[in-house]
Structure 1
Amino acid sequence: MKLTKNLIRSALLATALVGTPAMADGPIKDRGEAVEQAHFQRDRETILAMAGDYKVRFDMQESTPWMDGYEPLDRKISGGYESVRVIEDTGTRIVLQHLLVVGDEGEEFVIKHWRQDWEYEPEKILTYTGPDTWEWVEMPERLRNGRWSQTVYQVDDSPRYAGWGEWQDSQGIRRWRSNWTTRPLARRDAVRDPVYDRYEGINRHQLTPTGWIHWQDNTKMMPDANAEDGLAPVVQEYVLNTYTRFDGYNTGAADAYWAATRDYWKAVRGMWDEVAAANGGITIAEEAQTGTVISGRLLTMGNAIQAGEMSEADAIAEARTLITEATAPGVAAAAKVAGANGDY
């Protein structure tokens, strides 16, 4: 009898352990209109709560090596001041623009940073699928209910990565966890020409009493023709970006920059959207220092508009030419081959 109970207990435990991950990403059953609406409204409030002014701490640590002989990098900690603004809110779509404020008092300089777009129950997301390439991927219909996608864009509004997940409450903490997402290398890694060429990661966003955190669990991957899926793990990395509410810097510098350039950047966002819709995604060459090969110029024109050195109309016209030519089918195909050969 004792043996039978132990076997039953072991079987139940094994079932629970195996079932937990699947349940976390399985379909959300229809909870009724009132409950669904309540969840939706709370999700919106949580996303919108990430807007504000912050002191930011970026903490990056390579940990477990998965490749024999690989030495993990030393821990890297940096920080700065960042203003996050809501630049679009349609109800089911919320867009947050990050603006870095750097420099000494009275000589502040604003750097347009990353952007995060949240969409409720999307049909598809623009995902990174390999060097220089982003493609539309359908989100399984059975998994859309109650979930939000987060698409992250680079400083020039070109795509970076996308994932989807559910906002949940557990252990008294409000959090969103993504599915596994593929991302291109960040500048901190790309400039070193490492053996790995992408991250496979899970992202978490969690509100805190003083702001919010963005936590990443990244596996750095390298091409390997002998691996089952053509990729092999190199090292694990943990990244914790902490946003603490703080207004002890010139937050007005961020707002002044955005007031001067928001129409230009709105036009740029529209251009990237047009390319993605027309081509089934985006293919554009990347470089280690700036992201895409046109990123530097797109950012420079934004600064020139604010300084009165370039008209908005001229900047928009040049941006259209840059984006059109850099993503043209012939150029895009050549960039993809060059990326595969490691020639850039």
Structure 2
Amino acid sequence: MKKTTLLLALIITALNINAQTKFDQDREAIKALAGFYKVTFNYTETFSPDDDYKFHEKHRSSAKEWALILEDSPKKIVIQHLLVMRGDSMIIKHWREDWTYEDTQILAYDKNDTWKKVTLSANDVKGKWTQKVFQVDDSPRYQAIGTWVHVDGKHQWQSNADSPLPRREYSERSDYNVLNRGNTLYLTKTGWMFEQDNKKIIRSESGDKLLAMEKGMEEFIKTDPKSFGYAQTWWKEQEKFWKDARETWDTIFAENNVIKLTSKVDNKLLYEQFFALGNQSVKEKWDSAKNKEGVRKVILAYLSKG
């Protein structure tokens, strides 16, 4: 009886060690996404069920990007991306990704700038990480769930989620209204790759119709941090404002089961309002309460109850 009990205890211990090792590998893979990078963006449409469909031109571009870790707790890792342009003289706060472990609540994109709160079961998210992607103004973009896989020295995470149109097409196209993203992230010797197999969807009350499929490759190649000097100075000046912005958005998300955003208010986009507030916060004496009040006022102006 004692031998059986001891054997069972050893098996349980071994399982716990393996589970912890997997969890630690997950966390290390996520944190490896942070760093200083040269990024190349390549997208091309590959297929359409409509024989008369005219494929759009390929999209190719490159930029420098700094991805920095804002929060590193056991079950949550927050990474902010900053776009570095014109050498190191122009900084744009870019997208943000929050990684949460076994998170049972997400905002799922529907259509027409509308996200709906969805609650999942513990079994649905067991051992999985959610990547919550936010736009430049920290409004939602998409949230996807997947399992990190670590095999033969390779580290990979896959997911699928609906999102609004990408920025590269948002102001140029109206022939579809949902981008169904097939996302694969994997680490490389020089950084990491963000590979996409996307479907451009026309979503209506009668259902979804596939317009075209697209292949995307975003390659993040590590580069010299010395060329990001101004970016680091810029973020030190702005980071308090954006911390307040994130916390204000979290309150808004908690208060609403549906987030529906209006495109423009007073002929201004939401991110234009946020960038102006961020710049204003640098010039004025810091007041977090006042800052959050201003951010909330802006968000509510764009938040539709309809």
> What is the TM-score when the length of structure 2 is the normalising length?
0.88
- For residues 56 and 249 of structure 1, what CA distance do their matches in structure 2 show? 16
Any idea what SS the aligned residue of 1:243 has?
strand
Instruction: In structure 1, give the amino acid aligned to 2:302.
Output: A
Instruction: In structure 2, give the amino acid aligned to 1:236.
Output: M
What is the aligned partner in structure 2 of residue 36 from structure 1? 19
Task: Kindly indicate whether the alpha-carbon contact (under 8 Å) linking 1:100 and 1:113 is maintained by their aligned counterparts in 2.
Answer: yes
For the aligned residue pairs, the C-alpha RMSD in angstroms reads 2.0
What is the aligned partner in structure 2 of residue 259 from structure 1? 236
1:248 to partner: Cα distance:
6.3
- For residues 312 and 261 of structure 1, what CA distance do their matches in structure 2 show? 11
Pair 1:136-2:117 in alignment = yes
What is the aligned partner in structure 2 of residue 16 from structure 1? none
Pair 1:273-2:250 in alignment = yes
Equivalent positions of 1:46-125 (< 5 A) are 46-104=29-87, 108-125=89-106
Where does structure 2 lack aligned partners over 5 or more consecutive residues? 1-13
Any idea what SS the aligned residue of 2:56 has?
coil
Task: Kindly indicate whether the alpha-carbon contact (under 8 Å) linking 2:178 and 2:203 is maintained by their aligned counterparts in 1.
Answer: no
Pair 1:190-2:177 in alignment = no
Task: Kindly indicate whether the alpha-carbon contact (under 8 Å) linking 1:220 and 1:237 is maintained by their aligned counterparts in 2.
Answer: yes
Among residues 149, 157, 182, which one is paired with 1:202 in the alignment?
182
- For residues 286 and 196 of structure 2, what CA distance do their matches in structure 1 show? 37
Tell me: CA distance 1:58–1:311, structure 2 relative to 1, closer, same or farther (3 Å). Answer: farther
1:134 to partner: Cα distance:
1.2
Equivalent positions of 1:150-161 (< 5 A) are 150-161=131-142
Instruction: In structure 2, give the amino acid aligned to 1:98.
Output: H
Pair 1:245-2:222 in alignment = yes
Identity across the alignment (%)? 32
- For residues 53 and 305 of structure 1, what CA distance do their matches in structure 2 show? 26
- For residues 297 and 256 of structure 2, what CA distance do their matches in structure 1 show? 16
- For residues 144 and 117 of structure 1, what CA distance do their matches in structure 2 show? 16
Tell me: CA distance 1:324–1:224, structure 2 relative to 1, closer, same or farther (3 Å). Answer: closer
Any idea what SS the aligned residue of 1:270 has?
helix
What do residues 186-227 of structure 1 show as CA deviations (whole Å, max 9, x unaligned)? 12212123310111121111000000011111100013555x
* Worse-matched range after superposition: 151-160 or 190-199: 190-199
- For residues 153 and 171 of structure 1, what CA distance do their matches in structure 2 show? 32
Tell me: CA distance 1:39–1:50, structure 2 relative to 1, closer, same or farther (3 Å). Answer: same
Task: Kindly indicate whether the alpha-carbon contact (under 8 Å) linking 1:81 and 1:249 is maintained by their aligned counterparts in 2.
Answer: no
What do residues 127-162 of structure 1 show as CA deviations (whole Å, max 9, x unaligned)? 212212112212332232211000000000011000
What do residues 251-278 of structure 1 show as CA deviations (whole Å, max 9, x unaligned)? 1222112111111111111111111111
Task: Kindly indicate whether the alpha-carbon contact (under 8 Å) linking 1:36 and 1:146 is maintained by their aligned counterparts in 2.
Answer: no
Any idea what SS the aligned residue of 1:42 has?
helix
- For residues 85 and 285 of structure 2, what CA distance do their matches in structure 1 show? 25
What do residues 62-119 of structure 1 show as CA deviations (whole Å, max 9, x unaligned)? 11112341111121110110000000111110000000111145xx111000000001
Task: Kindly indicate whether the alpha-carbon contact (under 8 Å) linking 2:182 and 2:197 is maintained by their aligned counterparts in 1.
Answer: yes
Tell me: CA distance 1:45–1:171, structure 2 relative to 1, closer, same or farther (3 Å). Answer: closer
Q: As a proportion of its length, which structure holds more strand? A: 2
What is the aligned partner in structure 2 of residue 26 from structure 1? none
Instruction: In structure 2, give the amino acid aligned to 1:320.
Output: R
1:311 to partner: Cα distance:
4.4
Matched pairs, number: 289
Equivalent positions of 1:207-222 (< 5 A) are 207-222=187-202
- For residues 253 and 215 of structure 1, what CA distance do their matches in structure 2 show? 30
Tell me: CA distance 1:124–1:225, structure 2 relative to 1, closer, same or farther (3 Å). Answer: closer
* Worse-matched range after superposition: 317-326 or 89-98: 317-326
Any idea what SS the aligned residue of 1:70 has?
coil
Where does structure 1 lack aligned partners over 5 or more consecutive residues? 1-30, 334-344
Instruction: In structure 2, give the amino acid aligned to 1:54.
Output: Y
Among residues 197, 203, 210, which one is paired with 1:233 in the alignment?
210
- For residues 53 and 141 of structure 2, what CA distance do their matches in structure 1 show? 27
Any idea what SS the aligned residue of 1:250 has?
helix
What is the aligned partner in structure 2 of residue 177 from structure 1? 158
What is the aligned partner in structure 1 of residue 305 from structure 2? 332
Any idea what SS the aligned residue of 2:115 has?
strand
- For residues 164 and 140 of structure 1, what CA distance do their matches in structure 2 show? 13
Tell me: CA distance 1:215–1:286, structure 2 relative to 1, closer, same or farther (3 Å). Answer: farther
Instruction: In structure 1, give the amino acid aligned to 2:99.
Output: W
- For residues 137 and 247 of structure 1, what CA distance do their matches in structure 2 show? 41
